[in-house]
Structure 1
Amino acid sequence: MELFDLNGEVAMVTGSGSGIGQAIAIGLAEAGADIACFGHLSNGGLYATAEKIHALGRRVLALEGTVTSAADLKGAIDLIENELGSLTVAVNNAGVGAGGDAETLPLENWQRVYDTNVTGVFLSCQAQARVMLPRKRGSIINIASMSGSIVNRGLKQADYNSSKAAVIHLSKSLAMEWIDRGIRVNSISPGYTLTPMNRRAEVADQVKIFERDTPMGRLADPEEMVGPAVFLSSRASSFVNGIDLVVDGGFMCW
């Protein structure tokens, strides 16, 4: 459908070397967009994502950097604009997991989570908006979590939960600040998802609990975040701004 067609769009996806970010980057390319993959190159995942996108016949860049560095983000966006064209879509997925007893949680652990999950998302939005605002066109999508709206039973992760709550409200705040300047800002809150972290043998018992507690009886595949991302990137969501789109298999209904 033309409403969901992303031909002619240029998208930046942070944290696109694995999991949800990788699935979304490939999915946006399948919908027609050219893609800039931004993140760490250490494990080769970013290049693997880029190769899959190239095989689809789309233009692609693999750009090394960290979302905690404004200079890295600016340099990446300069390259995107020079080599792919005007940035029109951004998916800010880069983030870290965390947890631990709140009363003994080291300050450096707390700060690491907030540096990446909150400051990193803000710096990404800021850098992306600086090129989108003069053109009065763009869609920014921040990947939050259902943990930003609920407290996960049995998991001690005050740092992670509160950081994702901040992403949701940051997205709403930026959406309203830029609403009359042509940029839409929304967030996606995945439920429990079968990312590489949840495929590890040592968390198999915990994953069974996640499956039991999810009304649909299973975890999401990362590819199930593609549809929501394409929707929020496309003309199909032209009147959608400032929402948090929960994709959780019904989890928040219970």
Structure 2
Amino acid sequence: MITNLTGRTAVITGGARGIGLAVARGLAADGADIALLDLLDTVEDVARELADSYHVKAVGHRLDVTDQQATFAAFDEVGAALGVPQVLLTAAGIEINGDSVDVTADAWRKVIDVNLTGTFFAAQAFGKGLLDAGRSGSAIFIASMSGSIVNVPQWAASYNASKAAVAHLGKSLAVEWAKAGIRVNSISPGYVLTDLTQKIIDQQPSLRDDWEALIPQGRMASPEDIAGLVSFLASDAAAYLTAQDIIIDGGYTAV
């Protein structure tokens, strides 16, 4: 198996649903033990389901990724239960759409805090664990094609800015940690049909047709479409791949 991850522990923020859960299933299928960190109170139940389905060890912890102290504590707990994490996926994220002139300070800060600061705190805890243990690892951030283009017809300046920053954060940490054997890359999905995007579609039902008309493959991605790329980046098959942002969008940004 090219993406064999047996013996490694993977931490997924936002892992109780959506892209995070799809990736967790893919990593578990590749043999990794799984730690899910999520605000949802179902996170422990989801972890048990993963353990039963894939015959790996799995734990779930409730976590607000914007809390630095709680994030470090969660990684310590994961390390004690499953061993030092060698794979990280940051999938916790939010989006608040609206005209920029109407965006409140609280709404702006919430998006930046969850998407960017939360990614940094998780990466910080992950990197420290590996550096202290003298081990290599792979961090994968969920950025977005919205960090490279401006989505239409909806407006989401805070989301776009946060995801552009996430991609550059990945490059920055990749260079900083390269000599320690810690790789950092980001994945920038296009439109993915998750709970988050479904809520946006529910508010503006015409959006799905608008988006799919602009995607050369003619459909939105499923969360499972993202999982295979994460497994590759987490594995030794990607040992020389770091400091990259990989767009996976069905061709959207090419036209």
Structure 2 residue corresponding to 1:127, chosen from 125, 128, 143: 125
**How many matched pairs?**
251
Does structure 1 conserve the Cα–Cα contact (< 8 Å) formed by 2:94 and 2:196?
A: no
* 2: CA distance, partners of 1:158 / 1:198: 16
Residue 155 (1) aligns with residue 150 (2):
no
Residue 195 (1) aligns with residue 194 (2):
yes
1:49 CA displacement: 2.8
Letter in 2 for 1:129: G
- The answer for the alignment partner of 1:178 in structure 2 is 177
Does structure 2 conserve the Cα–Cα contact (< 8 Å) formed by 1:198 and 1:204?
A: no
Does structure 1 conserve the Cα–Cα contact (< 8 Å) formed by 2:138 and 2:184?
A: yes
- The answer for the alignment partner of 2:221 in structure 1 is 220
Percent identity (aligned): 40
Letter in 1 for 2:140: I
Letter in 2 for 1:247: I
Unaligned runs of 5+ in 2: none
- The answer for the alignment partner of 1:169 in structure 2 is 168
1:206 CA displacement: 1.0
Letter in 2 for 1:49: V
Residue 20 (1) aligns with residue 46 (2):
no
Residue 238 (1) aligns with residue 239 (2):
yes
* 1: CA distance, partners of 2:121 / 2:196: 26
Does structure 2 conserve the Cα–Cα contact (< 8 Å) formed by 1:10 and 1:85?
A: yes
Does structure 2 conserve the Cα–Cα contact (< 8 Å) formed by 1:41 and 1:47?
A: no
Does structure 1 conserve the Cα–Cα contact (< 8 Å) formed by 2:48 and 2:59?
A: no
1:205 CA displacement: 2.0
Q: 1:106 to 1:202 in 2, by over 3 A?
A: closer
Letter in 1 for 2:248: V
* 2: CA distance, partners of 1:132 / 1:203: 44
* 2: CA distance, partners of 1:122 / 1:197: 21
Letter in 1 for 2:96: A
Letter in 2 for 1:131: G
* 2: CA distance, partners of 1:153 / 1:109: 20
* 2: CA distance, partners of 1:241 / 1:41: 31
TM-score (norm 2): 0.95
* 1: CA distance, partners of 2:60 / 2:135: 26
Structure 2 residue corresponding to 1:100, chosen from 98, 101, 105: 98
SS in structure 1 at match of 2:61: strand
Does structure 2 conserve the Cα–Cα contact (< 8 Å) formed by 1:133 and 1:182?
A: no
Does structure 2 conserve the Cα–Cα contact (< 8 Å) formed by 1:117 and 1:163?
A: yes
* 1: CA distance, partners of 2:168 / 2:111: 17
